[in-house]
Amino acid sequence: MEQIHVLDENTINQIAAGEVIERPASVVKELTENAIDAMATAITIEIKEGGISLIRITDNGAGIPKEDIPTAFLRHATSKIKTAEDLLSIGSLGFRGEALSSIAAVSMVELITKTKSAIMGCRYEIAGGTPKNDIEDVGVPDGTTFIVRNLFFNTPARKKFLKSAMTEAGYISDIVERIALSHPEIAIRFINNGRHILNTSGNGNLKDVIYQIFGREITSNLLEVHFSAPDIQIGGFIGKPLISRGNRNFENYFINGRFIKSMIINKSIEEGYKNFMMQHKYPFTALRFQIEPELIDVNVHPSKMELRLRNADEIYPEIVKLIHETLEGKNLIVEVKAEEEKVPAPLKREVTKTPEIFETKRREEKKDPQIQKIQNTKLPENLKNTKSQEIQKEPQKPERPVSSPPVLKEENDYRKPEQMTLFDDSFLSKDARTRTRIVGQVFETYWIVEYGEKMFIIDQHAAHEKVLFERTMKSLKAKENISQELNPPMILNLSLREGELVKKYHMEFARAGYEIEEFGGNDYAVHTVPYDLYKLAREDMLMEMIDTLADDGNIRGGSELIMERIASMSCKAAVKGNNRLSIREANTLIDELLTLDNPYHCPHGRPTIISMSKYELEKKFKRIV
């Protein structure tokens, strides 16, 4: 064996770079976050060939003082914290002091920077961790430009793992979009191979940024959320269930201006949407969390993409409730349009403007104080009490130095679908029910109801399921549920983990009507089952329930989960589908459906009601054009 020795600085940096800089998108993330920490109000991100050959990031932030430049590229060199205690009140995105050293270790970096107080700016080059020249004086505007060329030129193994330039550009685009969403108060411009891809105005309006990135369909189906407690504020938007997606990529959320990934938050969002959305569909969200820094730990991974929430148990149910309450009582009826609207490809719209390396106009004025309050989590004591109300407010339109055109002048710029205003004369109100007319049933499944200038189509099957589900939930909660004995008992053979779950939730099972007893070895005897489920007292169903508990029980509380499963299974069993109801029976069913908090979706997330307006019909028949 070789003698033990300490590795040289360059090798250490290369090893560290492996964790911090995984691909071009990581460089973009780190440099853009540095620009945000430097209080920039405008950031331009330019890439060539997926960022592999060139990444140029220009900001109009504080700049780096000449004497600090070489230090900035040293590992563990940072201006953002001094001691580990500062991590408890971290307000900046960076704090590890290893991004610049890692980037410089695996690429060729050129830095051009000028602080406000300096007369001249500086130029500095460093490649593979070795400085290329002394610092040169140059005449440049205030702010900083980083140019990163030939990423991984000296680590061919890493370079081999990169995907095609197009794929890498896609990753960068994702990062830029998330940064733009998390900082609507910063004008962000993204240029890929000379094409302008994104251009946010920096007017502080989150909805404008959502429109820029996701287009009209999503923007016109948003619901605003607000939550405020002493330690946590939540704002932003959630999508109506009709704009659901096939994966979680549209669940955007930011904690203290940092976009992160958190299983707990994903789960809580999805839980909030449960019963409003089909299974395996995921919502759109753009949620901004402001959490007391002491309650989070950002120091989990070098990429700073994860964080730990100290009070996850308290935050989880709050998010679920917030989302649920935001969706509840809203008109979520899917409207049938005469023609499917062609939604213009919203993503990556080109903006015809020539690229600028440096922002020509610089911020002269101070940043909007409102935004500073939001960004700077180290609030002075005397502000702490008033913080919750202040953070709730949307930032006022700050004066921006950047001349990019505002994206939307007014809310009305995107066409509001009619369904948003429909419930001014609510179909769901008691009064309205006296003015509805059931026209009849088609295909033995759908009821047609006329109300005002609209025709509503109700799926009898889904409506029935929904009504039964709510009834069963009510009776389970009121503990009216009766159980029925199984003779002989059903024997379940459970794994150790499953057995533990049955024991853990013994009380909850009993309350719901299941009496389960240990039977020796890994066997468990089920003596009674909920009355409604007698005919369905099958092993697989109970096993399915235990599996769900294994996944979600801990964070959601087993009792509610078991009740929901029972209710959902019993209503499924009770409804047979194509059975004819008399008009009177249908009337009762519709009446009951419309009194529910969320009448729009069956327990499995399918819609119960859709609507079509007289206008749409007339358009179809070309009575109007």
Contacts to ligand ATP by CB under 6 A: 30, 34-35, 38, 59, 61-64, 72, 77-80, 94-100, 144
Which of 67, 34, 239 lies closest to 143 in space, CA to CA? Answer: 34
Q: Which residue is nearest to ligand ATP (CB)?
A: 94
CA–CA dist 572, 337 (Å, integer)? 31
Question: What, of ligand ATP, Mg ion, none, does residue 97 touch, CB below 5 to 8 Å by kind?
Answer: ligand ATP
Angle subtended by helix axes 539-548 and 558-574, to nearest 10:
140
Question: What, of ligand ATP, Mg ion, none, does residue 144 touch, CB below 5 to 8 Å by kind?
Answer: ligand ATP
Of the pair 96, 454, the CB lying nearest Mg ion is at: 96
- Residue 75 CB, shortest distance to ligand ATP, in Å, is 8
Note whether 258 and 290 are within 8 A (CB).
Answer: no
CA–CA dist 218, 436 (Å, integer)? 31
Of the pair 179, 545, the CB lying nearest ligand ATP is at: 179
CA–CA dist 131, 199 (Å, integer)? 34
**Which residues inside 453-512 make contact with Mg ion, applying CB under 5 A?**
none
Q: Give the bridge partners for 308, in sequence order.
A: 297
Report residue 119 as tokens: 């007369």
Cβ neighbors of 507 (< 8 A, separation 6 or more) are: none
Note whether 368 and 398 are within 8 A (CB).
Answer: yes
Site string for Mg ion, 281-320 (x = CB under 5 A): ----------------------------------------
Which helix (H) or strand (E) element contains residue 42? Answer: strand 42-48
**Which residues inside 23-52 make contact with Mg ion, applying CB under 5 A?**
34
Of the pair 10, 426, the CB lying nearest ligand ATP is at: 10
- The CA distances from residue 332 to 37, 96, 327, in Å, are 40, 45, 8
- Residue 275 CB, shortest distance to ligand ATP, in Å, is 41
Of the pair 63, 283, the CB lying nearest Mg ion is at: 63
Does 212 bind Mg ion (CB under 5 A)? Our answer is no
- Residue 98 CB, shortest distance to ligand ATP, in Å, is 4
- Residue 263 CB, shortest distance to Mg ion, in Å, is 25
Q: Report residue 598: phi and psi, to 5°.
A: -125, 85
Question: What, of Mg ion, ligand ATP, none, does residue 61 touch, CB below 5 to 8 Å by kind?
Answer: ligand ATP
Q: Which residue is nearest to Mg ion (CB)?
A: 94
Question: What, of ligand ATP, Mg ion, none, does residue 80 touch, CB below 5 to 8 Å by kind?
Answer: ligand ATP
Report residue 15 as tokens: 């090893």
Of the pair 62, 569, the CB lying nearest ligand ATP is at: 62
Question: What, of ligand ATP, Mg ion, none, does residue 95 touch, CB below 5 to 8 Å by kind?
Answer: ligand ATP
CA–CA dist 120, 125 (Å, integer)? 17
Q: How many CB atoms within 10 Å of residue 364?
A: 8
- Residue 403 CB, shortest distance to ligand ATP, in Å, is 22
- Residue 94 CB, shortest distance to Mg ion, in Å, is 3
Of the pair 95, 284, the CB lying nearest ligand ATP is at: 95
Q: Give the bridge partners for 485, in sequence order.
A: 528
**Which residues inside 47-106 make contact with Mg ion, applying CB under 5 A?**
94, 99
Distinct helix (H) and strand (E) counts, the chain: 22, 24
Question: What, of Mg ion, ligand ATP, none, does residue 235 touch, CB below 5 to 8 Å by kind?
Answer: none
Of the pair 94, 121, the CB lying nearest ligand ATP is at: 94
Q: Give the CB-side neighbour count of residue 250, counting CA atoms within 13 A.
A: 22
Question: What, of Mg ion, ligand ATP, none, does residue 445 touch, CB below 5 to 8 Å by kind?
Answer: none
Q: How many CB atoms within 10 Å of residue 344?
A: 9
- Residue 178 CB, shortest distance to Mg ion, in Å, is 16
**Which residues inside 379-438 make contact with Mg ion, applying CB under 5 A?**
none
Report residue 538 as tokens: 């099958």
CA–CA dist 105, 21 (Å, integer)? 10
Site string for Mg ion, 97-116 (x = CB under 5 A): --x-----------------
Cβ neighbors of 622 (< 8 A, separation 6 or more) are: none
Of the pair 38, 151, the CB lying nearest ligand ATP is at: 38
Q: Kindly list the residues in this chain that would bind Mg ion in the complex (CB under 5 A).
A: 34, 94, 99
